[in-house]
Amino acid sequence: MQAITRLFCSNWAPTLWLKIPDVICVFVDMIGSTQLSATKQDKGTAGAYQLFTNTAVRIFHEMDAPYIDVRGDGVFALFNSNQIYRAFVSAVSFKTFAHLEFVARLEELTNVKIGCHIGIDQKTVLVRKVGLKRKNGRTDRQNEVWAGKPVNMAAKLASLSKHNQLFVSDRYYEKLKDDKARFSCGCPNGSVESLWKEYNVQELNLFDFDKAYYIESNWCTTHGKEYFEALLELDE
């Protein structure tokens, strides 16, 4: 059983910081949510937020993410170190939904331009619970606090992305060895090309790495299912 999964299946001491190596964080949030809130009625805004966050949670859950957290109009999921391709597949799946379904549908209904930020990073984290324990029938008011780079770096990478872009750190990108994660299927013209472009982040002074990579492709309508299933089989 991997580290994050084991953590939430055990009675760990909430006063201790636990170290978990090579955690993968996938972070998604909505672009233009402030404009949406300002221009639409509360009921319509709530429905848009619910569709966005619920879909992200559902996808992360289906990809067996051991930990999922909702933060306002954003969601992040943590994957174990042996779930490299599940993290990638979940991000591309949500990116495809956001571009082809969510954004198109919402713009048609509201005339508000919105979008989706997505970022991925991988590194060691520290975690502990903070708050009040359950006592005398009172509800447990404890939450997990994740200290370390992956959640913070994934959120910052997401903030760099434009709609329909997925940004990842170089240390996560280097783990994506399979051609189906690196190259296109050749549609629509038969030309197989690299899916990724390099992005220099050194001068931004926001990251503890110098290079990021981003992808703009979504699941192909012809080969998407094949790639989806093949990539999932690569995880240990």
What pLDDT is attached to residue 7? 58
What pLDDT is attached to residue 59? 98
- Inter-CA distances, 148 with 20, 114, 128, Å: 10, 30, 12
Closest residue by Cα to residue 159 from 197, 212, 111: 212
What pLDDT is attached to residue 65? 97
What pLDDT is attached to residue 8? 57
Query: What are the structure tokens assigned to 101, written together?
Result: 């379904």
What pLDDT is attached to residue 209? 96
* Cβ neighbour number for residue 38 with a 10 Å cutoff: 9
Q: What is the DSSP string of 105-137?
A: HHHHHH----EEEEEEEEEEEEEEEEEE---TT
What pLDDT is attached to residue 140? 56
What pLDDT is attached to residue 16? 74
Q: Which amino acid is at 91?
A: A
Alpha helices in 124-201 (DSSP H): 149-160, 170-173, 179-182
Instruction: Please answer whether residues 28 and 73 qualify as being in contact, where contact means their C-beta atoms are separated by less than 8 angstroms.
Output: no
Q: What is the CATH superfamily name and number for domain 3-232?
A: Nucleotide cyclase, GGDEF domain (3.30.70.1230)
User: 185-209 as b/e, with b when 16 or more CB fall inside 10 Å?
Assistant: beeeeeeeeebbeebebeeeeebeb
Query: What are the structure tokens assigned to 7, written together?
Result: 């953590």
Kindly report whether the peptide bond that precedes residue 188 is cis, defined as omega within 30 degrees of 0. Answer: yes
- Helix, strand or coil, per DSSP, at residue 196: strand
pTM over 0.85: yes
What pLDDT is attached to residue 13? 52
- Helix, strand or coil, per DSSP, at residue 229: helix
What pLDDT is attached to residue 132? 52
- Encode the chain (236 residues) as per-residue pLDDT tens digits: 566 766 555 555 556 788 889 999 999 999 887 777 655 556 667 778 888 999 999 999 999 999 999 988 899 999 999 999 999 999 999 999 999 999 888 877 777 788 999 999 999 988 877 655 655 555 555 667 777 889 999 999 999 999 999 999 999 999 999 999 999 999 988 899 999 999 999 999 999 999 999 999 999 999 999 999 999 999 97
